[in-house]
Structure 1
Amino acid sequence: MSDEVTAAMSAALNHSVEKIGGTSMSQYRAVLNNIWLRPRSVDGQPAGLYQRIFVVSAYAGITNTLLEHKKTGVPGVYALFAEMDEQRPWQQRLEEVKAQMAAINDEMFGAAGINNELLLHRANRFVDERLREVRDCLQHLEVVCSFGHFQLDDHLHRVREMLSALGEAHSAHNSVLLLRHHGINARLVDLTNWRIGPQPDFDGHIRAAFADIDLTREMPIVTGYTQCREGLMRTYDRGYSEMTFSRIATLTGAREAVIHKEYHLSTADPAVVGADKVQPIGFTNYDVADQLASLGMEAIHPRAAAGLRRQDIRLVVRNTFEPEHAGTLITRDYCSQQPRVEIIAGTPNVWALELFDQDMVGDALYGQKLNELVSRAGMQVVTKDVNANTVTFYMKGNKRRINQLLERASTLYPGADVRVEKLALVSAIGSDMKVPGLLQQAAAALSDAGVNILSVHQAMRQVDIMFLVAAQDYRVAVQALHSRLVENNAASVALQASA
């Protein structure tokens, strides 16, 4: 389908594209009642159930078991398969995935759910068939790679893509069964390209999938994973579902993009500060969303946000469990009415890789190889320090990767002093933080709370201030900054209340 046909088709639709996160998906009753069966108005149209495309994530915990645990690094099927252990522990982990999926199916369609044996049978058969095919494929790949002409490393990225597809296919298939049971004309849009020969490109796959869908009478339920020539996992890793969501919105010309999460986008993490002290954020912009994403508190993946921003599609982050709340509207041009701090965010797990070498003074190319090392290590760089004789990267990633990076950096720079330290990062973020004395206020808040500041970063655009502190001071630092800059800031309180 040409771009002109796509544009003409979408112009008449006035539809939304909505993504449902994994934790929300696991609370299927809330999703059913608060989202799918709840009429919504898109772009001023009469409220209805259709004119909405839903991109679904895997149920909570499934992708961790398929790949590896996102936070703890506990190996899943993929990580165990990559080790090529002769005991084949990946097979046992695959059985654990099957048990997880079967338990979810039973909760939805069994006696505790809608109590429909036929739908339960269909759901379990779908899981059994896909997992059996995956097991066969991996076993055959093991045999192929036992020959010297074939190396497992050449195929691992494809294995990761294939395993990722399972979780989203499972949740999308279940959702369609559930919706049809409740009288909704739901349609499964399976972008996993399962057992299909031709490998389309990303955009072509999405265009073809939506070519014959009538949004006025069909509710598409789309897998968050899209199999394509580019390889989403290789480029975006665990952010692939948001890329699918964003690209569908841009290619179909959606009026609105919505992300349904299990919490509000708030002034801080309620688990750290306290639910009674945080407030939902009514409005913000894509710049703030990017800063949050760099800390791992994603409203949306930065690359996914880019397409929405360029096409000026409004993005709304909504709480699945509070359907009456308007949520947070993220636009391209929003700026706070008064300069203020909107959010206190951070991460308790940051690795500081510091390289000190007095011979680097005046050598503009000295750190180039270190930049390449960090990039190849797969670590996410949050920020960076450079002075006359020291380069420090502050990164997110697992301990195994940082140890490998430390070893390689020490080998590459034998005359340098290279060390690693685990820290925490706390950041004050806002669409306009040009407040005189703000840095002094923030530093004083941390000092009064007994937190020692190890490093400070503030760009000239003044949309964020980053503080590096000891790992054990993370919670105290977040609480101190939120208390001083948000809770006890009159402008912030007034604006949040009006929002």
Structure 2
Amino acid sequence: MSHTVEKIGGTSMSQYEAVRDNVVLHNRTPEQYYQRMLVVSAFGGVTDGLLECKRTGAPGVYATYADAEDDSAWEQTLDNVCNRMAQINEDMFGRTPERALADSFLQDRIAGIRDCLHHLRQVCAFGQFQLAEQLQTIRELLAAMGEAHSAHNMVLYLRQSGVNAVLMDLTGWRTDEALPLDEVLEQAMARFDLSSQLPVVTGYAHCKEGLMSRFDRGYSEMTFSRLAVLSGAREAIIHKEFHLSSADPRLAGQDQVIPIGRTNYDVTDQLSNLGMEAIHPQAAKGLRQQDIPLRVRNTFEPNHEGTLITTDYRSPSPCVEMVAGRRNIFAVELFDQDMVGRVSHYAECFTDELDGMRLNLVSKDMNANTLTYYISGNRKTVRTLVSALQRRFENADINTHKVSVVSAVGSDMSIPGLLARSVVALNKAQVPVRAVHQSLRAVEMQFIVDDEYYEQAIVSLHDELVQTNAETVALAVA
């Protein structure tokens, strides 16, 4: 039997006992601990402290260092993160010998980072060197610290239970050169024997391509994916703190949602576009091309098989598998009567302005004289976009609206009357629909609603399109 490559998310990593008991040891004899590689994220909240909070944007070490005029602010932030990681060490190891090893590793890395940031400040005091040119490198250095800490801790923790865990440190700590990612991974894998060792791999990999510059905080999924592809894994597995379910259980109700047993990579692409990444699209690409199945499992339900994602899966009968959505979307509407016959030119200019602004295009629609782009990002950047468009098209009327996108998603949704049922359900729930998008491929149907109606839209569509169908199937089986 060939091996698996398995990724453990940050929230799951914080529940390290569950990772040990449910992921590594569960129903396995000592001989069965191996033929696996574990790619780990930083413990929950650590990367937020090192970079910036992913949810709120609150500054971490990186953001403080980039903006501070003196060293006191970023040093205090670094101390705070270091104290948080030291507390994790204490919680995991108490007064055992492993605690001293974990603390020594942490102190050495933090001291190295502190020295590096101090020296860079000194170098940039000379006019020939600009701090802005080094910020991406600093971001990668700090992000790597989170994964190095969690991977090293997990190795020590698993060894306490008799597992021959070994650290596969891909962070490039004190290395002289950056190699291409595939070469970094191949050289690292050559040093381990999967038949008798369990490599615990840092989710961050230092490489020539610069994973963060291309994928920002989705870098660990690229490391995970390329390891699976290059090693010819039997299966790639992601362990999360929840099931991939028919809707968000916090909205639709824990007892109402249904774990998805099977789906395909096409569906995961749609989810990624909505900000609900089962896996980053570029990471999924390699798995899909090599026909490697991806399984998403719940860390806290080890007996559940999770969701199996393959290239060729299609639901046995047409159905809606999930209702998902994305809040806080800006609808940027550009109306210009001169657009008639020149829509493609306007769309090209719109896209040009989007590039480089760190705004994510979620959806768009158009008619003879109007383009509407649905964009996720911060309000300040959206204002910058609108100003740039106004300079290009002086006679255009450009308006922005705060909306949400709610989608029905499935591997085959070619169901007669599905759109009509959906609109009736939303109307019954008193949800005004601002726009509707239905593609010919029958894998997604989008509804644009005002942001205040987001939760109502999710619940009403899930009740009508998923729950009703599940109840019908249950009655038919009975």
Task: Give the TM interval when normalised to the shorter protein.
Answer: over 0.9
- Answer with 183-192 or 403-412: which moved more: 403-412
Partner of 2:90: 106
Alignment match of 1:15 (pick from 3, 28, 31):
3
CA distance in 1, matches of 2:471, 2:315: 10
* Alpha-carbon offset, residue 87 of structure 1: 6.1
AA in 1 matched with 2:355:
S
Distance 2:130 2:393 in 1: 31
Gaps (5+ residues) in structure 1? 1-12
Q: Give the CA deviation at 1:373.
A: 1.3
- Greater shift, 244-253 or 176-185, is seen at 176-185
Counterpart-to-counterpart distance in 2, 1:14 and 1:496: 40
Return the alpha-carbon distance in structure 1 between the equivalents of residues 470 and 27 of structure 2. 37
Distance 1:145 1:408, change over 3 A: farther
CA contact (8 A) 1:255 1:313 kept: yes
Question: Is the Cα contact below 8 Å between 1:281 and 1:496 reproduced in 2?
Answer: no
Alignment RMSD: 1.9
C-alpha separation in 2, matches of 1:462 and 1:400: 35
Name the count of aligned residue pairs: 477
1:443 counterpart = 2:427: no
Match of 1:300 among 254, 279, 286: 279
| Residue number in structure 2 paired with 1:197 | 176
Q: Deviations over 1:76-111 (max 9, x none)?
A: 11112222433652222111111110111111011x
CA distance in 2 between counterparts of 1:274 and 1:465 reads 22
Q: Percent identity?
A: 52
Q: Does 1:317 align with 2:305?
A: no
Question: How do 1:135-284 and structure 2 match up within 5 A?
Answer: 135-284=114-263
> Is 1:37 aligned to residue 30 of structure 2?
no
- Alignment of 1:458 onto 2:438: yes
**TM-superposition CA deviations, 1:427-461 (whole Å, max 9, x none):** 00000000001011111111110101111111110
Question: How much does 1:209 deviate?
Answer: 0.1
TM-superposition CA deviations, 1:102-160 (whole Å, max 9, x none): 111111011xxxx41x2111111211111121122112222222322222221111111
In 2, the alpha carbon distance for the partners of 1:385 and 1:138 equals 46
User: Contact conserved, 1:487 with 1:493, CA < 8 A, in 2?
Assistant: no
Q: Structure 1 pair 145/406, CA: closer, same or farther in 2 (3 Å)?
A: farther
Moved more, 46-55 or 458-467: 46-55
TM-score, normalised with respect to structure 1 = 0.92
> Match for residue 6 of structure 1?
none
Write the distance in 1 (CA, Å) between the matches of 2:393 and 2:141.
Answer: 39
* Alpha-carbon distance, 1:47 to partner: 7.8
| Larger displacement relative to structure 2 (449-458 or 359-368) | 359-368
- Asked whether 1:382 is paired with 2:370, we answer no
- Paired with 2:165 and 2:453, the residues of 1 have a C-alpha distance of 49
Rounded Cα–Cα distance in structure 2 between residues aligned with 1:341 and 1:333: 17
Report the 3-state secondary structure (helix = DSSP H, G, I; strand = E; otherwise coil) of the residue aligned with 1:365: helix
Q: Deviations over 1:180-208 (max 9, x none)?
A: 11111111000000111021110000000
TM norm structure 2: 0.96
Aligned to 1:285: 264
Q: For the residues of structure 2 that align with 1:446 and 1:151, how far apart are their CA atoms?
A: 54
| Pair 1:25-2:13 in alignment | yes
- The whole-number CA distance in structure 2 between the counterparts of 1:22 and 1:103 is 16
The alignment partner of 1:359 has SS state of helix
Match of 1:58 in 2: 42
| Residues 1:53 and 1:213: Cα distance change in structure 2 (over 3 Å) | same
Q: 1:90 maps to what in 2?
A: 74
Give the alignment of 1:403-442 within 5 angstroms.
Answer: 403-442=383-422
Find the aligned partners of 2:49 and 2:131 in 1 and give their Cα distance: 21
